[in-house]
Structure 1
Amino acid sequence: MNRAAILLAGLGLLVLVSGTALYTLLGERPECDVSSAVGATIGGPFELVDREGDLVTDVDVLNHPALVYFGYTFCPDVCPFDMARNALAADLLAEQGHDIALVFISVDPERDTPEVLGQYADDMFPEMVALTGSAEQVKAAARAYRAYFAKGEGSGEFYLVDHSTFTYLMFPGN
């Protein structure tokens, strides 16, 4: 290849890159529609049952900063890892003098009885607030947090529950 061809190719590449950069920096940008979920309220009132079988509300549970997670005790994959991460975060914050609660809300009220949740909490993080309730109570709490869950197919106790895996940082009164 001769020197003129290389110079011409290099000049063409420079023009292409420069033009793209100028268009990106100075070109018109389309208006973006903002989703109605942006700025939406997360959280809200709920009534659920704790590991002792007592009815509790969001006011009882969220009386100081808390990490709230929706999952289930039979979850074979993400729940144990997410809860271990949340427990580690709570421990690290406690070492720095910040008190934060861990709240686990079951999306599987059929299997996650108060007793099952108590054992799960003891194994994962003994101070964890573990909550369940009727199917309607759990749906209402999940709806307030915009958490998704759906019972999968399966028979007997052998089924999975598809669910979102967000951890919510909540403060009292929010």
Structure 2
Amino acid sequence: MRRRRAIILGAGGAIGAVAFMLGVGAYRTRNRPALSEVLPLPIGEMSWALTDHRGQSVRPTDWARRPVMVFFGFTWCPDVCPTTLSDISLWLEELGADADRLIVALISVDPERDTPDVLADYVSNFDPRIIGLTGPADKVAQAAADFRVTYRRVDKDGGDYTMDHTAGVLLFHPDGRFASIIDFHEDRRFAVPKIRRTLS
């Protein structure tokens, strides 16, 4: 297994609270974004198109009428991403058969290195219900914009680089509405009930 050299600085762990505060502030300050510009779009209003780790095209319409769990990350991440995907695997196990109703996806913010084959190898280390998604840089940027997450490349010495990105797990109801976010390292006593509420 190749050495994971990238270092991630997870951004926006408290995105839910920040989104709420920014949205409320928009009513008071014209220079602040409206709440609709901070929270993720409903799945049905998104316009991204990506490729999964099996080489199949995936669009938001493919997720219609299914609860969705999405995490943005990359395979060279040595800490936050594998920890989060391990947590997700444990949450799915605890949900039992209900977990089969979920769409669970890792969207790569590093399309230069994360090809479908690389993602296939990576997600095979976690729950088999987790799919990996990637695509050209502009398609990944569109997905990030739709989900209202941020990421950026950080160059390192020697020509290497890492990726900074939003680290929360985003949850959506079956009708596509944004439900909530699970913060990095959130206790499963709170994470799993959030997911259960999303299923209805």
**Which bin holds the TM-score, normalised by the shorter protein?**
0.7 to 0.9
CA change 1:50–1:63 in 2 (3 A) is farther
Offset of residue 114 of structure 1: 0.2
1:55-74 alignment to 2 at 5 Å?
55-61=57-63, 63-74=65-76
> What amino acid is the match of 1:86?
I
Q: Out of 28, 33, 55, which is 1:36 matched to? A: 33
% identity of equivalent residues: 33
- Mark the runs of 5 or more structure 1 residues left unpaired by the alignment: 1-31
Check conservation: 2:92, 2:99, Cα contact below 8 A: no
Bigger Rg over Cα: 1
Rounded Cα–Cα distance in structure 2 between residues aligned with 1:113 and 1:119:
10
Rounded Cα–Cα distance in structure 1 between residues aligned with 2:61 and 2:140:
16
Structure 2 residue matching 1:52: 3-state secondary structure: coil
> What amino acid is the match of 1:33?
G
Offset of residue 95 of structure 1: 4.9
Check conservation: 2:151, 2:166, Cα contact below 8 A: yes
Q: Deviations over 1:47-89 (max 9, x none)?
A: 0011122221012245511210000011112111111112211
Rounded Cα–Cα distance in structure 2 between residues aligned with 1:37 and 1:91:
37
The number of equivalent residue pairs is 142
- Mark the runs of 5 or more structure 2 residues left unpaired by the alignment: 1-23, 27-31, 177-200
> Structure 2 length normalisation: TM-score?
0.64
Which residue does 1:87 correspond to in 2?
Answer: 89
1:1-174 alignment to 2 at 5 Å?
33-34=25-26, 36-40=33-37, 41-43=39-41, 44-61=46-63, 63-95=65-97, 99-154=101-156, 155-156=158-159, 158-174=160-176
